[in-house]
Amino acid sequence: MEDGKGWVESSLQWQTIEKFARRGRSLEIFIKNKSRYMFKLEEDFLDSGERFRTIFKDCIYPGSSWLTLVANKAPSFSLSVGGGLKYRLHCPYCKENDCDDCKRCILYIGFGNPFIGNLVSFVSLTNVEHPAKYAFDEAKDGTFKSSSFGGLRGVVEMIDAIYCSSKRIVFSVE
């Protein structure tokens, strides 16, 4: 479990961190679930770069969080990294995932560290269906963003990274 300030699961080995930190374009993507809903990954999109954890977390439970490391494919500043995630929010009380709450809310997360320009991010809570690439396409700049839908609020902010010279993009839903 990651607390957002530096302590990481034991599954993230130091060799991985060292390899990640040497990349020219890297990002720490941190997702915090402060809601009562479970986030189930429906789709991920990686435009460029590579993951330093084998997959994006397919399920983020209420009260938990997840750290993902992404970076350009080669140890060069000439490449970029970017992508998008689409999570469906599920009610923890619904076993069939067919209640109105489970059908209506989707979380989109977009991120990028382009070759030219600044870091970009995007967050949206909505009931409108899009592919995960939509979140990447909508990531325009790295300013503070928020989105509200159905009594939930999604926020994205950038803080200093721990494992690379770039930033940590923190996405939280409450």
Structural domains in the chain, sorted by start: 14-173 (2.60.270.20)
Average pLDDT over residues 140-168: 86
pLDDT at 136 over 90: yes
Instruction: Give the contacts of 127 (CB within 8 A, at least 6 positions apart).
Output: 104, 105, 106, 149, 150
pLDDT at 46 over 90: no
